[in-house]
Structure 1
Amino acid sequence: MTPAQPPEGARSLAPASARHALWRHLSEPSLVRRGTWSTLLVFLLIWIALLGYLYAENRQYLAEAPGLKQFGDALLVALDEMPDPAHARAVMAATERWTAIRRTQDKRLGGVVLYELRDSHDRRVFASEGWPWTATAAASEAPGASATDWAELYWRYDRTSAHWRLQILNPRRTGSAFLRYNAGFILPYLLVAFPFVLLAVWLTVRASLRPLQQLARHIEERPSDDLNAVGVPARYRELKPLVQALDALLSRLRGTVQRERAFVQDAAHEIRTPLAVINAQAHVLAHAQNPAERALAERQLNQAIARTSHLARQLLELAALDHAGPRSATRVDVAHWLRALLGPAAQTAMREGRELSLDAPDALSCRIDLGALESIVQNLVDNALRHGVPGSMVAVDLCDIEGQLLLEVRDDGPGIAASQREHVFERFHRGTEPRASGAGLGLAIARQAALRLDGSVEIIDGLQGRGVGFRVRLPRAGDQQTP
């Protein structure tokens, strides 16, 4: 039986998929690859540093030219032992040939060394082919090369002994030629050493990353709902900041989850009561026997609906503050804005026999997040009016002190007991007052909104020795320069 062959399209897709996976693997950032490139860069820097060092050392050596002086002095001593011009000429010819052969064999050396030998009467005994008439010949005497050119192209040796005057012109080695030769001379040694160093770096990086990989596997194997500390002892100093940061993050997440669970439980508990009232009053309203009973049930039903609506609004407002994104600051005249915001509340207070006053400057411009500021003002004022009685007073003060917005809301109502003041900003805290209404979220919302503005809320004394007050401080640093 002939085995089934895969479709032609499937055969063509397999290599393409493999190439794509290989390319994705190679293009993915890798610490090992990064270490390899870093090692290569280090070798390149070492190569450049060695070239620079050798170049500087060579420049210092050439500035003194001790080799040419030693060679010339030795040759001159040897010539002094043979005053015969023929013998001296033979020695110079042999020296010239030996020098030419030596420079041909050594790739570092270039050009031809030129010699001239004169006797004590300044008669020329020997001169290399191409030797200028003098070491500083004019351009007319040495066509194509001026005196300055000879000085730049050659090192010059010129000494006189008892019988002879010896001059040597040794070609100068240019910096570019020196660098070209030594760059090629050093590079093979670095290339030979590179694989061994790279292997050592690879083994080091691999061994160094092993504890990190073990930590990653440990975290990956944890249940998705496990927010406890990592629980891995950080033996290595470099891992301690990572483990500590993970533990701190998990701790914050645990706190957030616990607060959200508590918030959901409290919200469900709080909303259960008004819903039960709505259900009961709707039943009473449906079965009411007379208009008075029906009117009472309708009034209580509306109150329960209003309370539920108020609670839902506060829950949404608090959730929005808890998960708010970046602040959106707007330049506004806060004094004018606050007058417009408190206008409807003042009219409502007058209808209920209460007084709501505002003491603010004529104009107070700044940049601020109006949504958060509105949450502060509305919840503090609503809290003061809700707990007041007919004839009571609520005073709102706004001013600018030392670059801060200072907002105070005070009343002359029943106040808050000293034992309860440290708990008033907790969510769903109503206190011990029998007349207390609401869900206990207003002050928590005000504090959360103030924190969002990098401000604070504190309790102060109320009006005329009664009631309670709240002081809000909000920073205004730098907003005056914003157009």
Structure 2
Amino acid sequence: MSSVAPHHSRRLRVLWQRLSEPTLVRRSVASVMVAFVLVWAVLLGYNYLKYKQAITYDPGMLKYGDAVLESLADLPDASHAAAALASTDHWTNVRRRQTGLLPGALMHELRDGASGRLVYAASGLQGMDLQPPRDHAGSSLTETTVQGQPYRIYAGRNARWTLRILEPKRPDADYLHYNGRTLVPYLLLAAPFVLLPVWLSVRNGLRPLQQLAQRIAQRSSDELQPVGFHARHRELKPLEQSLDALLARLRQKVERERAFVQDAAHEIRTPLAVITAQAHVMARSESAAERTEAQAHLEQAIARTSHLAQQLLDLAALDEAQRPAPRDMDVAQWLRAALAQAAPAAMAQRIELSLDAPDSVPARLDATALESVVHNLIDNAVRYAQAGGSVAVGLRRGSGMLHLSVQDDGPGIAPAERGKVFERFYRGTGHAANGSGLGLAIVRQAARRMGGQVQIGDGLNGQGVGFFVSIPLPSPAWVPFLCPTPSTPA
């Protein structure tokens, strides 16, 4: 018995979860029910408006009073007229009670037309403070309030009699309550004939979507080929196309990352082999000169490996979806500090560094991405420039954009290679300097992360090469502050 109760409880929980889980079928049925409520409200409002028009211009009450008055015209005797009107009063109110549609009772009053003497009055009129009937020909319908109760009053007159009929005016709340209840059975009767087709149509309409979901669920985790569903319905085609486009982007990303890993492994293998060989020479060689030379090659290989590892980390960080929040900074002051750090390497090769920038350029930027752009462009320019050459850095702000340029007068890049230099691990030909081939790939990725772009162009004085970066800028909420010193160039 102890094992049956928990099992039963689990089944109840599963059943409750299924019943409480939102479904499109249930949502569609609920929408139809809401539509029924709206229909009910519209019909009730329409009937109410018709009712208000009817009681304002009620020909029924006038016709009834005129008919009673005409039936009394042939009864000149007051007792006979009183008996006939009493019978009419009794029969009319019995019918009102039987139908239950109208509130209260009609009250008839008959007077002699010549003398105004009261001939008959319903019992309900006793004690009512009524104004005497107006002396005019024909019939009329008015509204008044007697002792706090609203009434509609018919008044008619012929050659012999004066007739008044009082009818209690129905409150609007009573009318709405009664007619609201009257409409409900009709809507309940129509509901199954509407809900069943809706339920069937929604269930049948969702079947292709369920088939698409099953096909996706049956795919393995590494299968990134198109879904191949071939949707026939126009509503499903955008979903299938979006899924195929997403899979294509994922497939390209996986292929790119796989190629990146292979290239990274190949690039790291070379300096590691050098490290191994030179360490072997240092351990086995008896010549001090050979050990010194091996140590120099070893340090160079270690530096190259460290530089490559740092660039791989930078590129991986730029590829991450999560981005640091931009911060306010003075780009001009920050750029001067970055050039100061690059100055020793430039002076070692007798390269002149120059900066053309305003005194202050406040902006809100992704500082990490900007640092990757600036350091890699300046490092490339200094690395590949010829001894005694020049590297010019420019900075300006205009039209909501930040424009950064780095130009040199070195050997430049052949036009045929300019479209490839931003690819990972691509190194151009004809350069003596060694590099990892990742610097410009990092620049492009960092510029894209800031929403900008980088273009390649001409260098200084018709020589060398230039890189031009454009970055969109939001409106800065900038307050002057001390600029942090940039980190060591990658």
Judge same fold: TM > 0.5, yes or no. Answer: yes
User: Are 1:232 and 2:225 an aligned pair?
Assistant: no
User: Are 1:52 and 2:45 an aligned pair?
Assistant: yes
Change (3 A) 1:136 1:228: farther
1:325-344 equivalences under 5 Å are 325-344=322-341
Change (3 A) 1:114 1:147: same
Deviations 1:388-416 (A, max 9, x none): 23212212122222332111111111111
- Greater shift, 71-80 or 25-34, is seen at 25-34
- Greater shift, 346-355 or 179-188, is seen at 346-355
CA distance in structure 2 between the partners assigned to 1:214 and 1:460 by the alignment? 53
Q: 1:127 is matched by which residue type in structure 2? A: A
Aligned residue number for residue 371 of structure 2: 374
- Greater shift, 457-466 or 87-96, is seen at 457-466
- Once the two structures are TM-superposed, the CA of residue 353 in structure 1 deviates from its matched residue by 2.5
Report if the CA contact (8 A) 1:108-1:178 is conserved: no
Name the TM-score, length of structure 1 as normaliser: 0.92
CA distance in structure 2 between the partners assigned to 1:237 and 1:16 by the alignment? 44
Change (3 A) 1:34 1:481: farther
CA distance in structure 1 between the partners assigned to 2:279 and 2:49 by the alignment? 100
- Once the two structures are TM-superposed, the CA of residue 447 in structure 1 deviates from its matched residue by 0.8
Say which SS state the counterpart of residue 169 (structure 1) adopts.
Answer: strand
CA distance in structure 1 between the partners assigned to 2:144 and 2:408 by the alignment? 105
Change (3 A) 1:137 1:263: farther
Q: Which runs of 5+ in 1 are unaligned?
A: 1-7, 139-145
- Once the two structures are TM-superposed, the CA of residue 108 in structure 1 deviates from its matched residue by 1.3
Change (3 A) 1:13 1:344: same
Aligned partner of 2:123 among 118, 123, 129 = 129
Say which SS state the counterpart of residue 423 (structure 2) adopts.
Answer: coil
Report if the CA contact (8 A) 1:160-1:166 is conserved: yes
Report if the CA contact (8 A) 1:159-1:165 is conserved: yes
CA distance in structure 2 between the partners assigned to 1:325 and 1:283 by the alignment? 44
Q: 1:404 is matched by which residue type in structure 2? A: M
CA distance in structure 1 between the partners assigned to 2:356 and 2:330 by the alignment? 15
User: Are 1:177 and 2:195 an aligned pair?
Assistant: no
Report if the CA contact (8 A) 2:384-2:431 is conserved: no
- Once the two structures are TM-superposed, the CA of residue 196 in structure 1 deviates from its matched residue by 3.0
Deviations 1:9-62 (A, max 9, x none): 323311221222122222221122222322222221111111111111100111
User: Are 1:83 and 2:76 an aligned pair?
Assistant: yes
**How many aligned positions are there?**
469
Change (3 A) 1:147 1:435: closer
CA distance in structure 1 between the partners assigned to 2:302 and 2:12 by the alignment? 65
Change (3 A) 1:327 1:131: same
Say which SS state the counterpart of residue 136 (structure 1) adopts.
Answer: coil
CA distance in structure 2 between the partners assigned to 1:481 and 1:112 by the alignment? 82
CA distance in structure 2 between the partners assigned to 1:296 and 1:248 by the alignment? 55
Identity %: 52
Report if the CA contact (8 A) 2:328-2:477 is conserved: no
- Once the two structures are TM-superposed, the CA of residue 135 in structure 1 deviates from its matched residue by 4.1
Aligned residue number for residue 449 of structure 2: 452
Say which SS state the counterpart of residue 432 (structure 1) adopts.
Answer: coil
- Once the two structures are TM-superposed, the CA of residue 351 in structure 1 deviates from its matched residue by 2.6
- Once the two structures are TM-superposed, the CA of residue 290 in structure 1 deviates from its matched residue by 1.2
Say which SS state the counterpart of residue 406 (structure 1) adopts.
Answer: strand
Aligned residue number for residue 255 of structure 1: 252
CA distance in structure 1 between the partners assigned to 2:59 and 2:131 by the alignment? 21
CA distance in structure 2 between the partners assigned to 1:158 and 1:374 by the alignment? 97
1:144-163 equivalences under 5 Å are 148-149=145-146, 153-163=150-160
Aligned residue number for residue 5 of structure 1: none
CA distance in structure 2 between the partners assigned to 1:235 and 1:470 by the alignment? 49
- Once the two structures are TM-superposed, the CA of residue 306 in structure 1 deviates from its matched residue by 0.9
- Once the two structures are TM-superposed, the CA of residue 480 in structure 1 deviates from its matched residue by 4.9
Q: 1:128 is matched by which residue type in structure 2? A: A
CA RMSD of superposed structures (Å): 2.0
Say which SS state the counterpart of residue 237 (structure 1) adopts.
Answer: coil
Aligned residue number for residue 210 of structure 1: 207
Q: 1:423 is matched by which residue type in structure 2? A: K
Report which structure shows greater RCO (CA 8 Å, sep ≥6).
2
CA distance in structure 1 between the partners assigned to 2:321 and 2:199 by the alignment? 46
- Once the two structures are TM-superposed, the CA of residue 223 in structure 1 deviates from its matched residue by 2.5
CA distance in structure 1 between the partners assigned to 2:204 and 2:418 by the alignment? 57
User: Are 1:430 and 2:427 an aligned pair?
Assistant: yes
Q: 1:234 is matched by which residue type in structure 2? A: A
Report if the CA contact (8 A) 1:118-1:126 is conserved: yes
Deviations 1:306-334 (A, max 9, x none): 11111111111111111241341010111
User: Are 1:43 and 2:36 an aligned pair?
Assistant: yes
- Once the two structures are TM-superposed, the CA of residue 464 in structure 1 deviates from its matched residue by 2.2
Aligned residue number for residue 55 of structure 2: 62
- Once the two structures are TM-superposed, the CA of residue 277 in structure 1 deviates from its matched residue by 1.5
User: Are 1:442 and 2:436 an aligned pair?
Assistant: no
Q: 1:375 is matched by which residue type in structure 2? A: S
User: Are 1:219 and 2:216 an aligned pair?
Assistant: yes
Aligned residue number for residue 465 of structure 2: 468
Q: 1:59 is matched by which residue type in structure 2? A: K
Report if the CA contact (8 A) 2:330-2:362 is conserved: yes
CA distance in structure 1 between the partners assigned to 2:341 and 2:57 by the alignment? 98
Report if the CA contact (8 A) 1:137-1:147 is conserved: no
Q: 1:124 is matched by which residue type in structure 2? A: L
- Once the two structures are TM-superposed, the CA of residue 343 in structure 1 deviates from its matched residue by 1.6
Q: 1:279 is matched by which residue type in structure 2? A: T
Aligned partner of 2:102 among 92, 97, 109 = 109
Name the TM-score, length of structure 2 as normaliser: 0.91
Q: Which runs of 5+ in 2 are unaligned?
A: 134-142, 481-490
Aligned residue number for residue 3 of structure 1: none
Deviations 1:96-144 (A, max 9, x none): 0111101110111111111111122122211111326774379xxxxxx
